[in-house]
């Protein structure tokens, strides 16, 4: 097949090579990312498989990720033999109350640090930044002492206090950053019309700051949902278990409990927050960067 090499033939041949290169690159890249995505999701896929399998299938040595016989028994057992609904209710109650309280105390504080100029303002802000860098685990025992001395140990109230206090700095700082981006002139116009400071905050500032309020609220919600060390350390009464302390307890019963139920619970615990995360993700980056960095 020694056909004369015309210009057209040469160009077509080069194009074909180029295309083959592109295709092989694309095949390679897709194969690579399918493997990476699979490895990334492996712990979740495996948990999913176990949670739908029979409890004795766990110890089989096969590498199959999915059960031979699918069953809902672990999920049913989770709701019948364990108080996951109580844990869920406690977590939801804590999450919603923490969000409401953090916003309620942070809005006026953020307003003050954004709009007023007073002695110790800058120093207080820097002090709060330092406090926020403190890993709260380090003072866990002292926080525990505080909660005990206030008579709040083993109660939802004790956890609520700790969560609100822990997130108060973030709430203040994030909202202040956003308030700073709202021009003062808008407020002045309302003041001319006889609006009080309270009115200005409620009617002018908060509607404008809605993205920052949403982001702050979602971040606090995620924090509470994902928090386990306070929940595990402070609560020993099963009536007040959160999802975190409940799940933690499920794995502790290695000899008696059922691992498939533990894996089912892991997925049930994660599902709502995955949903919140997916819904909020797009807005989150903008609301945070708008609030976070500026002083």
Partner 1 sequence: MKKKEGFRRFEREARPWLFASLSLLTILLVVVFPIGHTVYLSFTNMGIYNYYDYSLIGFGNYLDAFSLGSASFLRSLGITILWTALNMALQLVIAYVLAVLLNSPHLRLRKLYKALLMIPWAMPGYVSILLWKNGMFNGQFGYLSKIFSLLGVDVDFLSNDIMAFLSCTVVNLWLALPFMIMIIDGALQSVNRELFESAELDGCNAIKKHLFVAIPSIVPIVSPAVLITLFTTFKQFDIVNLMTISPVGTGAHIETVIVYAYQQAFITGNYGYSGAVATLIFLLVVLSTVFFDPSFRKKGAKHGSR
Cβ within 8 Å of residue 261, ≥6 positions away:
74, 77, 78, 81, 82, 250
Name which of 233 and 240 has its Cβ closer to partner 1: 233
Q: Which is nearer to partner 1, 10 or 21 (CB)?
A: 21
Cβ at position 242, least distance to partner 1 in Å: 11
Q: Based on CB atoms, which residue is closest to partner 1, 240 or 245? A: 245
Sign of CA pseudo-dihedral 156, 161, 163, 164: positive
Question: Which of 98, 79, 90, 95 lies closest to 268, judged by CA?
Answer: 79
Q: Name the minimum Å distance from CB 59 to partner 1.
A: 6
Q: Identify the residue among 8, 194, 278, 282 touching partner 1 (CB under 8 A).
A: 278
Q: Which stretch binds partner 1 (CB under 8 A): 11-19, 37-45, 78-86, 206-214?
A: 37-45
Residue 70: CB minimum distance to partner 1, A:
18
Q: What are the residues whose beta carbons fall under 8 Å from the beta carbon of 215, sequence distance 6 or more?
A: 174, 280, 283, 284, 287, 288, 291
Stretch that binds partner 1, among 4-12, 70-78, 81-89, 141-149 (CB under 8 A): 141-149
CA atoms within 13 A on the CB side of 42: 8
Using CB under 8 A as the binding rule, the residues of this chain from 154 to 193 that contact partner 1 are 161-162, 164-166, 168-169, 171-172, 184
Structure tokens at 268: 């049930």
Please name the residue that has the structure tokens 């116009």. Answer: 189
Of residues 71-100, which lie at the interface with partner 1 (CB under 8 A)?
none
Name the minimum Å distance from CB 165 to partner 1.
Answer: 2
112 touching partner 1, by CB under 8 A: yes
Enumerate residues 7-36 that contact partner 1 by CB under 8 A. 22, 25-26, 29-30, 32-33, 36
* 2 versus 59: smaller Cβ distance to partner 1: 59
User: Does residue 160 contact residue 235 with C-beta atoms inside 8 Å?
Assistant: no
167's CB contacts (< 8 A; 6+ apart) are: 98, 102, 219, 220, 223
From the list 82, 87, 111, 178, which residue makes contact with partner 1 (rule: CB under 8 A)?
111
Token reading at 98: 């923490």
Spatial neighbors of 141 by CB under 8 A, at least 6 apart, are none
Among 76, 137, 189, 202, binds partner 1 (CB under 8 A): 137
- Going by the DSSP 8-state scheme, the letter that residue 200 receives in this structure is I
Query: What is the distance, to the nearest Å, from the Cα of residue 128 to the centroid of all Cα atoms in its chain?
Result: 22
Closer residue to partner 1 (CB): 3 or 192: 192
Quote the least distance from Cβ 277 to partner 1, whole Å.
Answer: 4
* Interface positions, 216-275, toward partner 1 (CB under 8 A): 225-226, 228-229, 232-233, 244, 247-248, 251-252, 259, 262-263, 266, 269-270, 273-274
Q: Which of 263, 287, 289, 254 is nearest to 74 (CA)?
A: 263
Site size for partner 1, by CB under 8 A?
Answer: 89
Q: Where in 40-59 is the site for partner 1 (CB under 8 A)?
A: 40-44, 46-47, 50, 58-59
Check residue 152 and report its DSSP letter: -
Judged by CB under 8 A, the residue of 2, 4, 63, 192 near partner 1 is 63
Residues in the chain: 295
């Amino acid at each position: 097949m020694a056909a004369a090499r015309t210009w057209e033939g040469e160009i077509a041949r080069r194009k074909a090579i180029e295309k083959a290169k592109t295709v092989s690159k694309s095949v390679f890249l897709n194969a690579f990312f399918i493997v990476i995505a699979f490895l990334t999701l492996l712990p979740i896929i495996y948990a999913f498989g176990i949670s739908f399998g029979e409890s004795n299938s766990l110890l089989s040595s096969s590498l199959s990720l999915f059960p031979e016989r699918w069953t809902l028994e672990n999920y049913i057992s989770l709701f019948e033999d364990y108080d996951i609904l109580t844990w869920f209710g406690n977590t939801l109650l804590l999450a919603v109350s923490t969000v409401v309280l953090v916003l309620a105390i942070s809005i006026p504080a953020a307003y003050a640090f954004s709009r007023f100029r007073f002695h110790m303002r800058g120093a207080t802000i820097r002090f709060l930044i330092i406090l926020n860098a403190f890993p709260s685990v380090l003072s866990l025992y002292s926080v525990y002492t505080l909660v005990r001395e206030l008579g709040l140990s083993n109660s939802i109230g004790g956890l609520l206090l700790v969560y609100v206090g822990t997130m108060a700095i973030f709430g203040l700082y994030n909202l202040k950053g956003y308030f700073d981006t709202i021009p003062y002139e808008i407020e002045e116009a309302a003041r001319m019309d006889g609006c009080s400071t309270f009115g200005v905050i409620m009617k002018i500032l908060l509607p404008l700051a809605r993205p920052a309020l949403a982001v702050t609220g979602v971040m606090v919600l995620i924090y509470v949902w994902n928090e386990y060390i306070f929940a595990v350390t402070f609560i020993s009464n099963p009536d007040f278990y959160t999802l975190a302390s409940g799940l933690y307890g499920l794995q502790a019963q290695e000899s008696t409990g059922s691992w498939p139920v533990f894996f089912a619970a892991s997925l049930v615990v994660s599902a709502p927050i995955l949903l919140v995360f997916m819904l909020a993700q797009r807005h989150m980056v903008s609301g945070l960067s708008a609030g976070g960095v500026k002083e």
